[in-house]
């Protein structure tokens, strides 16, 4: 599918595949499937940025994106009233959890200025987005005014930055774009790209950075994975620490729904059923925040977040000290 283009802007959505009276009634797995098709099977051509406008919340769409792509960053958009701020806060916390950089917060549908008398009216309250950004120590990117011309231009296919380039709303959008671009340009390049690593042959092994780690490096950001031997996964962290993890211990520590009861946390996996020589078949990156391991015993649903890997390594250290 080739997306339509206007003034250098390309867009694609499910709406191009269905008419207005034919709703897309989809369960979560199908939503995820179509999202992956939209990202990976559309002929986007050369892009500066691919921007995905997401629904509110922390559902299948957001999680699929976080697990499928190395997202450069996320902009949290909220309206000023409390109910919207609560939903936006949950979305922000979710993206923090999966290690997606928070570029900032935008307050949408902010002050309405009467075009006749010039009086300002805070229809949905005032300053909610800016207050939340200060509270959470996240950049406040700006407030988009409540302007009927934004709606009219959007419905007519003429964005306000083109239709009324000298308006306050158009200037706000341009400023937001410049701030977001500057934020993205200022982000550090991820030390590890996406990878799919065949353990048996070591084919596709990710990088192992030889450079000195930064003095303020993150303890949960890996900058290298390596196979020390067939039974040991080595991890180099951004704070300079190196850990060696026994792969059988990793298999036993799987927290997927087949190994841990989701509601109670009760272990379902019997260690006696796991062979002593169990080993990864492949290790694959999951978004910005985890790896997935497919095991020689056929198990393949476990996702190991980087923070969890670090916790396992530190737990092993504690046990070693206690043993001594």
Q: List, in order of start, the domains of the chain with CATH numbers.
A: 48-186 (3.40.50.300), 196-323 (3.30.2020.30)
- Report CA-CA distances (Å) from 249 to 225, 233, 244, 310, 324: 17, 11, 11, 13, 20
- Report CA-CA distances (Å) from 1 to 21, 39, 41, 53, 64: 22, 11, 7, 19, 21
Taking alpha carbons only, the member of 261, 239, 257 closest to residue 307 is 239
Taking alpha carbons only, the member of 77, 130, 128 closest to residue 102 is 77
Q: What's phi and psi for 142, nearest 5 deg?
A: 145, 175
**Residues of the chain where predicted confidence (pLDDT) is lower than 70:** 1-20, 188-191, 209-215, 317-324
pLDDT of residue 324: 46
Taking alpha carbons only, the member of 257, 265, 212 closest to residue 239 is 212
Q: How far apart are CA 231 and CA 234, in angstroms?
A: 10
Q: How far apart are CA 108 and CA 77, in angstroms?
A: 7
pLDDT of residue 20: 67
Q: How far apart are CA 153 and CA 158, in angstroms?
A: 5
Q: Are 80 and 128 in contact (CB under 8 A)?
A: yes
Count CB atoms within 10 A of the CB of residue 237: 21
What is the model's pTM?
0.81
Q: Are 300 and 294 in contact (CB under 8 A)?
A: yes
pLDDT of residue 199: 97
Q: Are 223 and 209 in contact (CB under 8 A)?
A: yes
């Amino acid at each position: 599918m080739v997306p339509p283009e206007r003034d250098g802007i390309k867009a694609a959505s499910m709406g191009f595949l269905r008419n207005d009276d034919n709703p897309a009634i989809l369960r979560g797995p199908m939503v995820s499937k179509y999202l992956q098709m939209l990202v990976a099977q559309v002929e986007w051509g050369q892009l500066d940025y691919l921007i995905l406008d997401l629904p509110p919340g922390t559902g299948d769409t957001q999680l699929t994106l976080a697990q499928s792509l190395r997202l450069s960053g996320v902009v949290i958009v909220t309206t000023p009233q409390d109910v919207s701020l609560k939903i936006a806060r949950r979305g922000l916390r979710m993206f923090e959890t999966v290690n997606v950089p928070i570029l900032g917060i935008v307050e949408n549908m902010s002050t309405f200025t009467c075009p006749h008398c010039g009086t300002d009216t805070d229809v949905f309250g005032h300053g909610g987005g800016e207050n939340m950004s200060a509270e959470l120590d996240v950049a406040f990117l700006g407030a988009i005014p409540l302007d009927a011309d934004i709606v009219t231009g959007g419905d007519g296919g003429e964005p306000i930055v083109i239709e009324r380039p000298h308006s306050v709303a158009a200037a706000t959008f341009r400023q937001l774009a410049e701030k977001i671009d500057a934020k993205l340009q200022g982000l550090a390049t991820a030390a590890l790209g996406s990878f799919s690593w065949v353990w048996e042959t070591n084919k596709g092994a990710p990088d192992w950075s030889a450079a000195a780690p930064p003095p303020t490096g993150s303890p949960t950001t890996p900058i290298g994975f390596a196979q020390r031997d067939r039974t040991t996964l080595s991890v180099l962290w951004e704070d300079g620490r190196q850990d060696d993890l026994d792969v059988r211990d990793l298999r036993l520590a799987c927290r997927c729904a087949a190994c841990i009861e989701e509601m109670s946390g009760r272990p379902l996996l019997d260690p006696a059923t796991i062979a002593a020589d169990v080993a990864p078949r492949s290790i694959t990156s999951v978004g910005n925040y985890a790896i997935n391991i497919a095991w020689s015993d056929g198990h393949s649903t476990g996702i190991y977040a980087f923070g969890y890997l670090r916790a396992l390594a530190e737990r092993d250290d504690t046990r070693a000290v206690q043993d001594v």
